[in-house]
Amino acid sequence: MPRSPATVRLLLAFLLCAGAFAVAAQPALPVIQAPAAANPYGLGALWDQGDLVARGTILVLAIMSLASWYVLVTKLIAQSRMGGQGRAANQSFWKADSVRRGADQLQPASPYRFIAESALEAARKHDGLIGKVDLNTWVAQSIERAVGTVHSRTQEGLAVLATVGSTAPFVGLFGTVWGIYNALVRIGASGAASIDKVAGPVGEALIMTALGLAVAVPAVLGYNWLVRRNKVAMDTVRAFGSDLHTVLLAAGTR
């Protein structure tokens, strides 16, 4: 039986509405986001794309950084310990009945005890050929040698910081030059010299300079800071040695 146009249009409208309702009733599918791409111009890319020389330069800078931070931390701990030993010496040593008892009250590893023991040993061995030397001069020289030994111990490790601070920028510069050379070789081989082809390799090479500065700056600052702290500590040590010299001469005179 033929249908009228109005009936056909009504049937089509009904089917379209049913289809739209069915689509709307379906649950929404979760949107899957693509994982973020790794930085193609970062340190990881420099390590992955670098050759043996580039990786060796990075390892050298890493070793230099670890060595400088190790020296910095250990020297700070040693200086703090030395400061505590100086305060203990000022509180207990000068209140003792004698230099011997005062030295026994100090810690065995204390530099102040080492100076006191050296002075006592010099005063005890003032005989024979040494006895011909004036006691004042002999004790002063012994204390001075002991203070010099303590000063040498406080300087241990500072050469590492000085070396790292002065050479790390040049090591990083070497890595930069080598990286730019390799980048130019790759660009020349590919024949593409657009900015997107040049920026990546050259930027990776310049990271070497940043790494060299990142290693050198803490080493230089740490060196200057430790030298200043050593100077303050050694002023206290020299003052202790001078006072000890006076006490020993007064005891010898009596």
pLDDT reported for residue 253: 44
What is the value of pTM for the model shown?
0.72
- Please state the domain extents for the chain: 54-253
- The overall longest dimension of the chain from CA atoms, in Å, is 146
Tens digit of pLDDT per residue, the chain (254 long)? 444 554 545 444 544 444 544 444 455 444 444 444 455 555 665 666 667 887 888 899 999 999 999 999 999 999 999 999 989 888 888 888 888 888 888 888 899 999 999 888 887 776 665 556 677 777 888 899 999 999 999 998 899 999 999 999 999 998 888 878 777 777 777 666 666 666 666 777 788 888 999 999 999 999 999 999 999 999 999 999 988 888 887 765 44
Sequence-distant (6+) residues with CB within 8 A of 64 are 164, 167, 168, 171, 215, 219
Token couple for 214: 């990142």
Residue of 218, 195, 194, 198 lying closest to 206 (CA atoms): 198
- The set of long-range contacts for 23-26, using a CB threshold of 8 Å and a minimum separation of 24, is none
- The conformation of residue 41, written as its DSSP 8-state character, comes to T
Cα angle at 86 between 102 and 142, to 5 degrees?
Answer: 65
Token couple for 25: 């009733």
Per the listing, tokens 């420099």 go with: 46
